[in-house]
């Protein structure tokens, strides 16, 4: 039991590092993930979305998005000064691309997770940004939105 | 100097994005002025739907997928307003494709529902299309009161090329 868990954890670490590093070595490495049953993959994705406070699944990378909607998510996070987030490039891995859609029960990419909870795609994130909800949600995670500081500067 | 339509679309999107900020963060007004100045120099007509009108004009009366989307959303949500636009022309897919859509659905059924719940309702109605030809679906799901505040089908951000390995899949 513990052996398989540590294998899964090791696979996840490689996966996370590869993806966050810009998708260079990205994808699902190792036997542990590819050979996993759908139940196993769900567990791994579950661990993945809970590993970091802000997790996004994109087409492309934050440095080089390959989709306008994914880019919108990246830009919104940038505007709020969120630099420390996990970004996974689904274009590097067809299994991840389909797996995350099944896991989230959401048919499209990008997908945004805050504190392990699925928030939505680009449309919903934009809406949250427009109505101020995103600032609040980030605050709950202990992340202070850069836009608060800009607003305060302006008021003074 | 003539701007490429893609750059224009990017500017329009940037402008729309910053315009959203203005309602809550007036300090970004300078950004708005800068973008407006850039747009003023642009020789492409100042229609925010420039790209979209090309799409709908190109696809005549709308194809079978568009018709199916419309019918299914009407049946599932009985919307007061339903605005649907085929945006495939703005993406890296063949002419005449029905792969990328934007829809505004206005229904009192959305009262009390979170954005996530509203979108999931839409997805459920269109599960066949989303499992099939539809690669992207941008949704604006509003109650009648919300729609009255801003009765407009937005413009999607410009395509950045998508996948180079696969073609037209979600």
What is the C-alpha to C-alpha distance for residues B125 and A4, in angstroms, rounded to an integer? 40
Q: Closest approach of chain A CAs to the CA of B10, in angstroms?
A: 9
Of B13, B115, B157, the CB nearest to A124: B115
B19 near A CB under 8 A: no
Question: Which is nearest to A61 in space by CA: A26, A10, A103, A107?
Answer: A26
Cβ contact (<8 Å) for A127 and B158? no
Cβ contact (<8 Å) for A153 and B20? no
| A135, pLDDT greater than 80 | yes
| B59, pLDDT greater than 50 | no
**Residues paired with B138 in a beta bridge:** B102
Torsion, CA B42, CA B47, CA B51, CA B52, rounded to 10: 170
Cβ contact (<8 Å) for A69 and B138? yes
- pLDDT-derived band at B5, boundaries 50, 70, 90: low
pLDDT value at residue A113: 98
Phi-psi region of B22 (alpha: psi -120 to 50; beta: other; left: phi over 0): alpha
Which residues of chain A from 80 to 99 reach within 8 Å of chain B, CB to CB? 91, 94
Angle ∠(A79,A22,A73) on CA atoms, nearest 5? 30
Cβ contact (<8 Å) for A147 and B21? yes
**Residues paired with B103 in a beta bridge:** B84, B139
Mutation test of the interface with chain A: which of B11, B92, B160, choosing the one with the most A Cβ atoms within 10 A?
B160
| A132, pLDDT greater than 60 | yes
- The ipTM is 0.74
Residue of chain A with shortest Cα separation from B139? A123
A63 near B CB under 8 A: no
B136 near A CB under 8 A: yes
What is the C-alpha to C-alpha distance for residues B79 and B85, in angstroms, rounded to an integer? 16
Between the two ends of chain B, the Cα-to-Cα distance in Å is 37
Chain B contact set for A79 (CB, 8 A): 21
| A111, pLDDT greater than 80 | yes
What is the per-residue pLDDT across B146-167, written as a single tens digit (0 to 9) for each? 999 999 999 999 999 887 544 4
Cβ contact (<8 Å) for A107 and B27? no
| More confidently predicted of B42 and B119 | B119
What is the per-residue pLDDT across A13-67, written as a single tens digit (0 to 9) for each? 544 444 444 333 344 443 333 434 456 899 999 999 999 999 999 999 999 999 9
What is the per-residue pLDDT across B6-40, written as a single tens digit (0 to 9) for each? 665 666 666 666 555 555 544 444 455 554 544 44
Helix A68-79 / helix B5-24 crossing angle, nearest 10 deg: 40
Q: Closest approach of chain A CAs to the CA of B28, in angstroms?
A: 9
Cβ contact (<8 Å) for B130 and A107? yes
B30 near A CB under 8 A: no
Q: Closest approach of chain B CAs to the CA of A58, in angstroms?
A: 11
Cβ contact (<8 Å) for B159 and A67? yes
């Amino acid at each position: 039991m513990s052996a398989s868990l540590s294998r899964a954890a090791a696979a996840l670490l490689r996966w996370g590092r590869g993806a966050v590093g810009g998708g260079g070595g990205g994808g699902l490495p190792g036997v542990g993930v590819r050979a996993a049953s759908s139940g196993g993959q769900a567990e791994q994705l579950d661990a993945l979305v809970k590993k970091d406070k802000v997790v996004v699944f994109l087409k492309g990378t934050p440095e080089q998005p390959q989709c306008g909607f994914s880019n919108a998510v990246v830009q919104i996070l940038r505007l709020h000064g969120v630099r420390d987030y996990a970004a996974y490039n689904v274009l590097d891995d067809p299994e991840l691309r389909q797996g995350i859609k099944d896991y989230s029960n959401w048919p499209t990419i990008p997908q945004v997770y805050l504190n392990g909870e699925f928030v939505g795609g680009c449309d919903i994130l934009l809406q949250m940004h427009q109505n101020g909800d995103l600032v609040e949600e980030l605050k709950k995670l202990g992340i202070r939105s850069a836009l608060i500081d800009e607003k305060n500067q302006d008021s003074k | 100097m003539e701007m490429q339509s893609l750059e224009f679309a990017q500017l329009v999107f940037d402008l729309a994005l910053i315009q959203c900020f203005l309602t809550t963060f007036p300090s970004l007004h300078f950004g708005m002025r800068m973008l407006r100045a850039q747009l003023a120099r642009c020789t492409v007509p100042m229609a925010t739907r420039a790209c979209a009108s090309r799409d709908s004009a190109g696809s005549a009366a709308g194809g079978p997928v568009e018709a199916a989307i419309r019918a299914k959303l009407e049946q599932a949500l009985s919307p007061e307003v339903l605005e649907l636009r085929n945006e495939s022309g703005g993406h890296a897919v063949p002419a005449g494709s029905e792969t990328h859509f934007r829809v505004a659905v206005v229904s009192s059924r959305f009262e009390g529902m979170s954005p996530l719940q509203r979108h999931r309702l839409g997805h459920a109605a269109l599960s066949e299309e989303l499992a099939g030809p539809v690669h992207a679906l941008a949704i604006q799901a509003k109650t009648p009161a919300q729609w009255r505040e801003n009765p407009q089908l937005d413009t999607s951000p410009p395509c950045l090329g998508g996948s180079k390995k696969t073609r037209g899949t979600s």
